[in-house]
Every structure is written in structure tokens, then in C-alpha cells.
Amino acid sequence: MQLIECVPNFSEGRDQQAIGSITRAAGAVSGAAVLQVDSNADAHRTVMTIAGEPGPVVEAAYEALRQAAEVIDMTRHQGAHPRLGATDVCPLVPLAGVTLEDCVGLAKKLGQRVASELDLPVYLYGAAASSPERRRLAWLRRGGYERLAQRLEDPKFKPDFGPAEFNPRLGATVIGARNILIAFNVNLSTEDVAVAEQIAKALRPAGGSAPLPQSQAMGWLMPGYGCAQVSINLTDYRVTPLHRAYEAVRQQAASFGISVVGSELVGMAPLEPLLAAGRNYLPPGGAGDEPGIEDLLAAAVEGLGLAAVRYFNPQEQVLELCLARLGGPAAVWARGKIDQLMGADDHNGNESQSVKNN
């Protein structure tokens, strides 16, 4: 069985009619399932998760990008999240029976099609990048949509596919391949975005090291939540688990005389790091010697404050739990993965406890 995930990010988080039309376009492709649609008005952004066999998922991604090009106008877009275009980024992620290199090939084919049929500048990133600097989304986004016209004049910023011409309404699109990433935002007990930015800076790599390796962080203000956030992308949750990121922000926040007030997951997350967080925060003897999946998830939600600013439902935001309800080969894979995770010793267990106590 072959199974991949696609997580297109659209520069629209307020117009529900537009978001609905993009969702319907992706969902109309047989063999691909739209697992979740996560919109935020302050970020003015929607994160969609599509999963299934590679061919249908890539087709669903194209249909979503095509519809986004119909309904999004970047000349009117303002939001907290960095972005280059109507579809800001579209990564392909291997899940089962597919390699990262397979996803690179799929990303290149999708990029060529988007550039040709939608007449857009397309950049490849992540494992599909055509040069070392283009592996980093932050480098491609430097200056954002507002500086895109200027950067397109630089031969070094020539798109991988499509015209090196500024499209005011649609901007540019970044397509690539990567492994699973967790988008994790930690809420602060302040609306001072400067503090959030300083905390994020302290967590970012400097001189080859960082408190949170394999992560990227930035600070921003979320007026809808009434707080500033430290927004963290965990590019390898086995190197930097969710709870370690949360506790690192807590420690940095304390140095500014403030506290953390919960967190949120943007889009979906795999089950493994949530189980690790649950084991970290579960009170000793609180659920017996062998806590069940519900106990661990409840402890993770409580310990990370995942329901502090909005509703959190593991059945809708945990990848394997969502796939397990689909039926077919994807559900068989997901149930097997759940059984494996619940039957295996948590390799982060000892380290997790030390993080909690230090």
C-alpha cells in the first residue's frame, strides 16, 4: 500500500465561502480524502490536510490550487503569517510504502503542471529544492509577497518553473517534499509581540546550536485569542518532542516575568509525539501501570493546554485516529500504527521525565 499526505496552505482564513470552494475542489477527487481544514482569521490562512494514494492526492492538490487561484486575491491580503502567494506552500509527505524521494518526483511534476496551467512562478523547497538555500521555506519567503516583484528581478531568484514575472493577484507558489512537520503555537500571558519575538529568537539556532534542534520559531500577535504566541514548526518531533518545546517556551517566558497559557496544534499531528507528551504529563499512578490511549491523550491535552484557546478534538487532529475511520487500506495502516505505538515502549520516556523535572 502507498499512502501520502499533502498539506497545502492557502492565504485565506476569513472567507468561508472561498475556503469551502477550495475544500470541495479537493474533496471531489476519488481516492483522496480531505482529513481536516484548519482556518485562522488573524493569520488569514487555511491549512488543509489531504491523504490517500499518491496519484489521487496529487490530483486533489492540483484541483485545490486551481480553485485557490480563482477565489483568492493577494492584493487585498493582510495577515500575521508570512506568505508568498494565494497558495503559499504545498508539501507532499510520505506516510507508507512511499519514500521521500518518491515525493520529490511527485512535487516536481505537480510544480510543472501548476506553473504551466495556472501561469504561476513555482519554487521547489525541502527535499525537492534545486539549491541548498531553497531547501528553507524562510529563505524563499524572505520579504514576503510585498517584496516578491523586486526579488523576481534577481536571476538568483528565478522560479524553478513558470514565468519570472510578478502576478499581483496570485503571487507565487512553493511546492516541495518533506517528512512530517508539526505546527505548534504556544500562547503567552501577554499581548506584547516583541516579547514573543525575543523568546522565539532565543529558541532559534545560533552558532550551530539551539535549545530546540530541528525546529523553527517566530513570534506574532493573535488578537482573536487575546495573546501573543510563539509559533514553532517542529521538523523532527523525535529530536524535539512537543512537550520539550512547550517547556522551553515556559522557561523563556518566566525570564520575562510572564507565563504560558496553553497551546494549539495547527493542522494535524501524528499520534506518537502526543503519546510521548501524555506519558510526560500523566500523574504517577494516575491511570495505572499501563495507561490507555485515551488516558495518554487526555494527559497530553491537559499538560500542553491544547484546549486553552480553542476546541481540540484528537479524533479530528491526530493523523492516525482520523485515518483509522476512513476504511480501506489507509485505515488498516493507521490501526496497525496505533497498535504498534501503544504496544511499544516509549523511547522518549526517560528523557521526557527529565525534561519535566528540570
Q: How far apart are the first and last CA of the chain?
A: 43
Q: Exposed, middle or buried, 168 (CB in 10 Å: 0-12/13-18/19+)?
A: exposed
Query: Phi-psi bin for 123: left (phi > 0), alpha (psi -120 to 50), beta?
Result: beta
Instruction: Give SS3 for 276.
Output: helix
Q: Cell numbers 528581478 label which residue?
A: 153
Give the separation between CA 255 and CA 240, rounded to whole angstroms: 21
Contact 236, 179 (CB under 8 A): yes
Residue 306 φ then ψ, to 5°? -70, -15
Q: Let me know if 81 is a catalytic residue.
A: yes
Give the separation between CA 233 and CA 273, rounded to whole angstroms: 14
Give the separation between CA 6 and CA 90, rounded to whole angstroms: 7
Cell of 248: 522551553
Please report the DSSP string for 159-212 in residue order.
-SBS-SS--TTTB-EEEEE-S--EEEEEEES---HHHHHHHHHHHS-BTTB-SS
Classify the C-alpha dihedral 11-12-13-14 as positive or negative: positive
Instruction: Give SS3 for 46.
Output: strand
Write the CB contacts of 147 (distance below 8 Å, at least 6 apart in sequence): none
Q: One of 44, 77, 81, 243 is an active-site residue; which one?
A: 81
Catalytic residue numbers, as ranges:
81
